[in-house]
Structure formats: C-alpha cells, structure tokens
Amino acid sequence: MINTVLGPIKNGSLGTTYIHEHLYVYPDAQVMHQDYTLDDLDKNIAEVISFKNSGGDTLVDLTPINYGRSPMLLRKISQASGVNIICITGFHKEEFQPKWLENMSNKDVYDFLTHEIIDGIGTNKILPGAMKLGTSKNTITDSEKRVIDVEGNVQRDTHIPIVTHCDQGTMGLDQLAGLKAAGADLTHVCLSHVDLSEDVDYIKRICDTGASISFDHIGRHLKNKDSLRINMITNLVNSGYSDNICLAGDMGRKKYFISYGGEPGLKYILTDLKSELLQHISETDYAKMVTTNPHKVLIRQ
C-alpha cells in the first residue's frame, strides 16, 4: 500500500505518475513569490482534471513544510478530480526552512519527521507518501547537511522514499553521498531538477549510484518543442539509463497552469511532449518514465 491524501491505495493503483509537482501553495506576502502561489482551488482542480483527462492517475505534491504545504486542500483537489495525490514531509533548502528548525536537536528533527510519517500530519492525520530535502546552488549549507543526515536516518528506519531539490541541478552527487553515509537506500531516492545542469555525463554519474532522476523543467522551451530536453533524454535512453528517468513538470507557478492562463499545463507531458519523444525513443521507454520508474521510487519495500 502507498499513502495518498485520501488514504492508502494498492501499489498497482498508481498508474501514470508525475513525481514532482505543486498543486496548492498558499499565498506568500512577498511580491516576488506571487507567481508561485497557487491559491485558487477551483483553478487548481481544473488543472488536475486536465491531467486526468489526458491519461494521468497520480501526482506527488512536493510542497514541503514552511513552503505553503496544505494537505487538507490537496485532499479536496483529489476528491474533486479523482486523481491520486501524494503529499510529503520534509524540508526545502535553507532559504525556505522554518526558523524553529534551528532550535531543534537532530533527535528532535528525527522524531518530528517520523511522527508525521507514522502518525500523520496535523489534526487530520494525513499520511505522507514521501519526504523532501533541498540544497542550495553550488553548495550545501551546514543546515542542509544536517537535514540530509537526519533524513537519511529517517529513511533508513521508515523506508519512506526521498525526492530532493537540487538547486539549478547542482549538488546531486553530494546529496547522494550524504544520504548513503546516513544509511539511506538510494534506489528509493529521486533527484529533481538535474536536467537544469544540461550535463548528461553528470546525470549518468547520478544514475550509476542506483538513484533516479526527475526531468522536471520541461515545457519551458515550447518554441523549439523542448529539443534540448528531448536530446538529453534520448542520449540517456540510448546509453542504457531508461530505468532511472522520471518525467514531471514541477509546474508550481501560475504561468505554467493553463487554468491560470499560462502554458503548457499539467497535460503537456502526456500530450505534446510524448508525441515529440516518441519520434526518438520507444513507447516502452516513455512508459517507464511515467509509470514503472516513479513507482520504483515511491513503493516502499
């Protein structure tokens, strides 16, 4: 069984899955963050329904603690759309970590995370299906190192999967080294945003550890039909890495949701991108990226 915001479902019910999205983020007072606030529930539901109507089944909402996480509103979106939604525990990079984290010991943080994983989030006891951590661009701060160590211990003991934030695609190998040293199982770790590095050799080295990667900054270059991302994916597939790639959009901004007047929308990966990819890779390899591979990360042993 795997936890969703509506309760546990059978592993075989995940279907077509995006491993890194943001479906509701409550408003931030800073003007610079307004495009990142997905605060119109009706529009968010409409966007998720468009994903379902294009063949989608499951979305992992990677909105962490102190970044606008709202499991109860995700429950409403899931109920209205009929799409499985998985929420998370865990923290972002230091810039977005809560101030109270500084005053907690490693044991306190470990106990806090394991409590959410075992007993649920808040008074509604919604169980997370994954855990997040993040690092900064070209560096891992002391606070981020501590979170990696603690979350590696938590994953070792609870077997919850980890999906990370690699700022601008950087520090992926360092994240994995820290997690492995803390006892984490890298086959249940997925590194996000590594496609932003535009470095296929770097991505191959990540995959060689047994971890998975999320190609999730697609849909940003529509004029050339995402040709760079398609070429990178084709290279990886032809090099034998088709079992390590997950596709997602990380489309947590108003300008990316069709329901807010943006583009390309959550359905893009299952429609236009799929059509372009299938000119270069097989249907089987494409299907792995939206089914088998995210399931491999998310399903606990």
The residue-averaged pLDDT of 126-133 equals 98
> How much is the pLDDT for 61?
98
> How much is the pLDDT for 27?
65
- Whether omega for the bond prior to residue 264 falls within 30 degrees of 0, making it cis, is yes
Is beta strand 17-21 parallel, antiparallel or unpaired with respect to 7-9?
unpaired
Residue ranges making up the domain that contains 240: 2-298
* Share of residues in the chain with pLDDT > 90 (%): 94
CATH of the domain at 195: 3.20.20.140
> How much is the pLDDT for 301?
67
Which tokens hold the place of 296? 């491999």
Checking if the pLDDT of 195 tops 80, the result is yes
> Structural domain tally of the chain?
1
The residue-averaged pLDDT of 126-148 equals 98
* Share of residues in the chain with pLDDT > 70 (%): 98
Over residues 30-41, the pLDDT tens digits come to: 667 889 899 999
> How much is the pLDDT for 192?
98
DSSP for 245-275? EEE-----SGGG-GGGT-SS-GGGGGTHHHH
pTM, to two decimals:
0.96
On average, the pLDDT of the chain sits at: 96
Look at residue 106 and give its three-state secondary structure: helix
Answer for the pair 131, 90: CB distance below 8 angstroms, yes or no: yes
> How much is the pLDDT for 29?
60
Checking if the pLDDT of 63 tops 80, the result is yes
Checking if the pLDDT of 232 tops 80, the result is yes
> How much is the pLDDT for 34?
87
